[in-house]
């Protein structure tokens, strides 16, 4: 973005959109009525004051929106439940020996699969998107982080797994 303070203008209404700065420094906004084939152009204008919100670190053990109820297990540093409210069902397989987004790797010396250690979980609450950052410690990695983006206005959860492999 070329400006320190800016607004993103909706091309249809000519009004500024709600924008959120994510923890990693990127910006997010909710784009409505995008054509299935083609594109839509949004204008970025300089603003006199900061026109976007940031996510705030939250100590909560759960988050909920119109679509999902998500439970964090802070003792294990994992997401223990994601209940889809429309289905009335937990979409995490709680009988699995692996946690949601767990990084597993094969140890060639011991000839076995290994699990990671979950080291940290942070929940950032935002105006448009909530972010859950889960850090894991794994052999021969510099960083293993699962980022879960829970959208407010649409029934959508995005998962991003970032792994810095050392060898």
Q: How far apart are CA 133 and CA 22, in angstroms?
A: 12
Residue entry with tokens 């052999």 = 139
Q: Taking residues 13-34, what's their average pLDDT? A: 93
- Which of 126, 136, 134 lies closest to 165 in space, CA to CA? 136
Give the residues across from 37 on adjacent strands: none
pLDDT digits (tens, 9 = 90+) for 69-104: 999 999 999 999 999 999 999 999 999 999 999 999
Residue entry with tokens 């249809």 = 12
Which two three-digit tokens encode residue 110? Answer: 């011991």
Q: Which pLDDT belongs to residue 1? A: 77
Distances from the Cα of 50 to the Cα of 23, 57, 82, 89, angstroms: 16, 20, 34, 40
- Give the pLDDT band (50/70/90) at residue 123: very high
Q: How many residues does the chain have?
A: 167
Q: Taking residues 41-47, what's their average pLDDT? A: 93
Residue 16, pLDDT > 80, answer yes
As a dihedral over the C-alpha atoms of residue 85, residue 88, residue 94, residue 95, rounded to 10 degrees, the angle is -160
Residues 6+ apart with CB under 8 A from 10: 16, 17, 32, 42
Other Cβ atoms within 10 Å of 35 Cβ, number? 7
């Amino acid at each position: 973005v070329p400006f320190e303070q800016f607004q993103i203008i909706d091309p249809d209404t000519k009004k500024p959109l709600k924008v959120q700065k994510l923890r990693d420094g990127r910006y997010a906004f909710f784009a409505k009525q995008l054509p299935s084939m083609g594109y839509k152009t949004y204008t970025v204008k300089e603003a006199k004051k900061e026109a976007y919100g940031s996510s705030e670190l939250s100590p909560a053990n759960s988050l909920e929106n119109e679509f999902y109820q998500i439970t964090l297990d802070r003792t294990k540093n994992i997401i223990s439940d994601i209940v889809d409210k429309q289905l009335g069902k937990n979409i995490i397989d709680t009988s699995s020996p692996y946690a949601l987004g767990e990084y597993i790797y094969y140890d060639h010396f011991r000839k076995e699969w290994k699990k990671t250690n979950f080291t940290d979980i942070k929940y950032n609450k935002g105006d448009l998107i909530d972010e859950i950052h889960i850090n894991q410690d794994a052999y021969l990695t510099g960083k293993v982080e699962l980022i879960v983006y829970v959208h407010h206005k649409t029934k959508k959860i995005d998962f991003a797994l970032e792994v810095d492999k050392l060898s």
